[in-house]
Structure 1
Amino acid sequence: MNLTRYNYLHNLAFIQQRIKEANYIALDFEFTGVLASSLLRNSLLDSFQMRYWKVKENVRRFLPIQMGLCTFREDANSNNVIAHPFNFYIFPYGVDGYLDKQFQLSSNSISFLTNNNFDFNRTFNEGILYLSHQDEKILRDTKRIQDLRNEIRYLDKIVTFEMINFVKQYKVQVEQFLKVSNDPQFEIPIKRLKVKVYRHFIESITKEFGKSYEFYCKYDSDILIKREILYIVKGPEPPETKKQNVEEANEFAGVRILLDQISQQKTPIILHNGLMDIMHIYDKFFETLPDSRGEFISKVNSLFPVIYDTKFLINQSYSVYNKVGQFSELKNSYINLQNLEPNVVFGDECQEYNNLEENQAFEHEAGFDSYMAGSVFYKAKKLMNLDQKKLDLYQNKVPQSSIKIPFDFGDKTGEDKYHNKQIFIFHVEILEKSLVPDSLIKGYFKEKYNTDIDLFLSYGQNFEYFMVFSTLEGSQEFRKTMKNGVTIIEIGDHEFIITEYENYVQKLQRRAKDELSIKEMPTILE
């Protein structure tokens, strides 16, 4: 089910009921970008705090523009799992420059979404507007809510050619029906018509004929996606057809209402490689991401105490990983596990994705991706024979790029168990920018300092490495040859500039200040 600004509130009660009944809820987002700069790409040697900081700086620069939410309810009678996927086009509020959101567009991400048939017009013209808890509090405290309310009314009053043409098409027929017809009602087909089009039509005929004739409008179904007929009915409007007032909170919160409900119910959520997803959820719908990784973990724990990540789950089981193929990518995982138990079926009201061959066109639509993530979760859980006690072992662990240690939302100690803070780390740059065998560099340090070293490519560059000594003594001995943390050495016909990692980070900090206008980066030791 696709949701926009013009049909979201009409379907809100239905979506909330599906959330209330759900055993699990899968979430997925599409963003305007992922990586703001090569300076913010994770390195193998980054500490946990630096990794968090880099993702945070990327997250705050981009926007989620589509949210996928899929509820999963286990049916004891049929042993099926009933899925209700929802695809939301979303966009943040801005009030005359006040709390206006500045964000970046990544050409790579936009091209990727365009190639996957993403509808940007829907996002920018019809996206469900939302405020974070933090922004709503600021607006209320500064008494700017009325400005926001005026903005909503302005958006609803924008008239399109489609609206004008629809009024022209049926206005005369409605007038004739009201004047001379003996029929009790007049039918107008509205299947696949945008809600704002027939809403504008109702407002137009009510304004023009409402004082001369007594009539009201109703639909053939209370469920918006099932509506096909608009009825113009003669006589007084019965109470059950009158519009329900929408709570002010619903008006401003947008899809945040649903995330609040999931949080209040403490329903387990399912992600796929979802560290950036959960950080965007917190940053865009609750409050600005904190600087501290430990504080972020604590805040997320209070909001969403149970998180499962299908990529992490798959990578822990050889039997599942062997089935889904390399990198445990979501689409391959879904296709290769599709025929396994349990049977995941779509709810009657959400059949848009119910065709495996046509589903290829929905890949990277957030609603379908959230459905795939939940389906993979159920299949993998069954294949791994996980009861709740065993499943708890995989709870609150989300993959981190370039290392096998997950981001653990269950670890409240904040301890970085991965990095040894006593080993000296160095940055190595080949001055002539030519390829040099690793064995040449390793042989030099083995002969001169009687120690082994490991080399790791730096940010994907062919001519830059991180170098780590295997012994503390060897790294200390080499450090004595450096001046102000830098030295140049010759190995054969090649020259290398080697910098202590702390000095290298300081160089990145200066670049970050100039290029990205951000605070200083945490160091490897933080």
Structure 2
Amino acid sequence: SLFDSPAERYLKARQSVQRFTVTQLGKCCSDAENTLPRSQWYMVHSYNFFLFPSTLGVTDVEFTLSASSIQFLSHYGFDYNKFLKDGIPYMNDVQEKILIQHLLAGSWKWKVSSALDRDVLKKAIDEVTRWIAAAEEEETMILQDLSGYHLFEVQLVLRQALQNVWTEPLGDKKVMVKKVSPQHRQFLENSPDDYCQKELILLSARGFTNFFQTLVKAKKPLVGHNMLMDLMHLHEKFYKPLPESYEEFKRNIHNLFPVLIDTKTVTRSIRKKCKFPRVSNLLEVYAVLCNSNLNPKDPTCPVITLASDCSRYAEKQSPHEAGYDAFLCGSVLLKSAHLLLCRSADDAVEADPSFSQYLTVLAEYLNKVNFIRGDVSSINFSGEDAPRQHPPVLVVHVRGWPGLNEGQIYQEFKALCRFDVRRLSKDQFILLSNKYKHVKLVLRDYKHHTHLRVAVYRHWRHSPRVNCLLQ
């Protein structure tokens, strides 16, 4: 709603982020290719990560699936098997502390969270207990078809239950079980080569969170497109549960990523400054910047080439695949920055503009993340949010039409133009639009309406609180 403040919208979005999971995440990075004659040649590496919440030693994670989202992703070829079977685990700080407590306790609590876990563990224990009764010391057996966290859980449970066995992962979903003496077992437990060391278990369970923390430490600019929800998911899934305070969320994100660039904010500004056609999504923005005369093919333009390990993105478009969208986002950033540099330069742009020059020309957009339909145009993660300049607010006074509600008011004006509606009092409603022409149209067409009197809202005249004080 246009009435939403950033804090109000944040609380609404927070509920959504807490319910849903992240299915995939894309990362695109590039280096200026020094072996080529121009520093403006960017060799791009784009990666697509399938993610799935970690279940090793933490409370079972529950998340919501939206039917429309499933249909949408299916339409664009999303691989649900890869998401469910091979998704990289991740956890936030709170979940990590729970796992560390289990590990430091020195014993593994067998917490069966599903029928699958129960079957896998029971099968492994039954096989080993039958085998070990007749086995000699140093004899071994192989457990098959153990993947993901089961690879660790089976070993930890067996080691806790049986003091005369030792386990080692063999790769290819296999675990070797060896019968050993208690003395040999103690020696092996102190070995630096033990694959079930607490540090290695934690490293595996954290999964993608390790990479997230590497990004945080790097302090490189983080680029996204319409990235508010992305930032909220990064905070919730890989850092800490989202705080109730909107301002605390802003501070946390700024500490994690001091430089944010939202290409939606950048291209929205370009559309105002240049003859940029109206587009609805990232792929269309990319197409316009690549194929229009906005970025003429002069020698100073950045040349973006996909590396061989992700060349399929050059051969076929893959919209809404995270890795491909990351590539589009990075390309839009470079092309937009070059366009702004060309428009800002008094003389011709130098032969090889550097990325630092692009950052300079993007300075006014840094840390300003697009805010869709609200009372600010962007969220400033390094300062105060600047209010949006709206057309005049309208007030509708209802006469002789009892029981009218916000939905009916919306439907009344919908045929003519679009307004967001909020009740002001029993017989008054506020109308808010982001288009001046809609305001003028309604004021003109409803000037003599029988039941609805429309006027420009004046706080001292129309506010119920002010009227109450004046009476």
TM-score w.r.t. structure 2 length?
A: 0.61
Shift of 1:373: 0.5
Which residue of 2 is the match for residue 117 of structure 1? Answer: 77
- Tell me if 1:393 matches 2:364: yes
Q: Is residue 132–residue 284 contact of structure 1 (8 Å, CA) maintained in 2?
A: yes
Shift of 1:100: 1.5
- Tell me if 1:349 matches 2:302: no
Which residue of 1 is the match for residue 322 of structure 2? Answer: 366
Candidates 377, 381, 389, aligned match of 1:409: 381
Deviations 1:407-466 (A, max 9, x none): 11111x5x674599xx999999735948435999xxxxxxxxxxx996138xxxxxxx9x
Shift of 1:294: 0.9
Residues in 2 aligned to 1:48 and 1:374: alpha-carbon distance in whole angstroms: 26
Aligned CA distance change for structure 1 residues 201 and 263 (closer, same or farther; 3 Å): closer
Residues in 2 aligned to 1:73 and 1:327: alpha-carbon distance in whole angstroms: 29
Residues in 1 aligned to 2:455 and 2:19: alpha-carbon distance in whole angstroms: 32
- Tell me if 1:288 matches 2:246: no
**For residue 367 of structure 1, what is the amino acid of its counterpart?**
G
Deviations 1:237-264 (A, max 9, x none): xxxxxx9x99444312111111111110
Alignment of 1:484-499 (within 5 A): none
Q: Is residue 340–residue 361 contact of structure 2 (8 Å, CA) maintained in 1?
A: no
Shift of 1:346: 1.6
Question: What is the total number of aligned residue pairs between the two structures?
Answer: 339
Which residue of 1 is the match for residue 165 of structure 2? Answer: none
Shift of 1:309: 0.7
CA RMSD of aligned residues (A): 4.4
3-state SS of 2:51 partner: strand
Structure 2: give runs of 5+ residues left out of the alignment: 121-169, 178-194, 296-300, 342-356, 417-427, 434-451
**For residue 116 of structure 1, what is the amino acid of its counterpart?**
Y
Which residue of 2 is the match for residue 384 of structure 1? Answer: 340
3-state SS of 2:313 partner: coil
Aligned CA distance change for structure 1 residues 474 and 251 (closer, same or farther; 3 Å): same
Shift of 1:61: 1.0
**For residue 290 of structure 2, what is the amino acid of its counterpart?**
Q
Residues in 2 aligned to 1:67 and 1:374: alpha-carbon distance in whole angstroms: 14
Candidates 448, 459, 463, aligned match of 1:472: 459
- Tell me if 1:86 matches 2:47: yes
Which residue of 2 is the match for residue 449 of structure 1? Answer: none
Shift of 1:333: 1.2
Shift of 1:400: 0.8
Candidates 432, 453, 459, aligned match of 1:456: 432
Aligned CA distance change for structure 1 residues 200 and 95 (closer, same or farther; 3 Å): closer
Aligned CA distance change for structure 1 residues 387 and 344 (closer, same or farther; 3 Å): closer
With 298-307 and 427-436 compared, the bigger mean Cα shift is at 427-436
Alignment of 1:221-236 (within 5 A): none
Aligned CA distance change for structure 1 residues 124 and 437 (closer, same or farther; 3 Å): closer
Q: Is residue 453–residue 468 contact of structure 1 (8 Å, CA) maintained in 2?
A: no
Q: Is residue 54–residue 206 contact of structure 2 (8 Å, CA) maintained in 1?
A: no
**For residue 289 of structure 2, what is the amino acid of its counterpart?**
L
Residues in 1 aligned to 2:111 and 2:30: alpha-carbon distance in whole angstroms: 38
Residues in 2 aligned to 1:86 and 1:439: alpha-carbon distance in whole angstroms: 45
Deviations 1:131-169 (A, max 9, x none): 212210122134489759999xx98x97xxxxxxxxxxx
Alignment of 1:11-50 (within 5 A): 43-50=1-8
Alignment of 1:242-281 (within 5 A): 247-281=200-234
Residues in 1 aligned to 2:245 and 2:46: alpha-carbon distance in whole angstroms: 34
**For residue 97 of structure 2, what is the amino acid of its counterpart?**
K
Alignment of 1:65-80 (within 5 A): 65-78=23-36, 79=39, 80=41
Q: Is residue 395–residue 457 contact of structure 2 (8 Å, CA) maintained in 1?
A: no
Alignment of 1:431-442 (within 5 A): 433=408, 435-437=411-413
Shift of 1:290: 0.7
Deviations 1:177-212 (A, max 9, x none): xxxxxxxxxxxxxxxxxxxxxx866959x99xxxxx
Which residue of 2 is the match for residue 313 of structure 1? Answer: 266
Q: Is residue 92–residue 241 contact of structure 2 (8 Å, CA) maintained in 1?
A: no
Alignment of 1:158-169 (within 5 A): none
**For residue 455 of structure 1, what is the amino acid of its counterpart?**
L
Which residue of 1 is the match for residue 146 of structure 2? Answer: none
- Tell me if 1:338 matches 2:290: yes
Shift of 1:110: 0.9
Aligned CA distance change for structure 1 residues 425 and 300 (closer, same or farther; 3 Å): farther
- Tell me if 1:60 matches 2:18: yes
Candidates 66, 74, 79, aligned match of 1:106: 66
Percent of aligned pairs with the same residue? 27
Residues in 2 aligned to 1:250 and 1:389: alpha-carbon distance in whole angstroms: 38
Which residue of 2 is the match for residue 127 of structure 1? Answer: 87
Aligned CA distance change for structure 1 residues 424 and 295 (closer, same or farther; 3 Å): farther
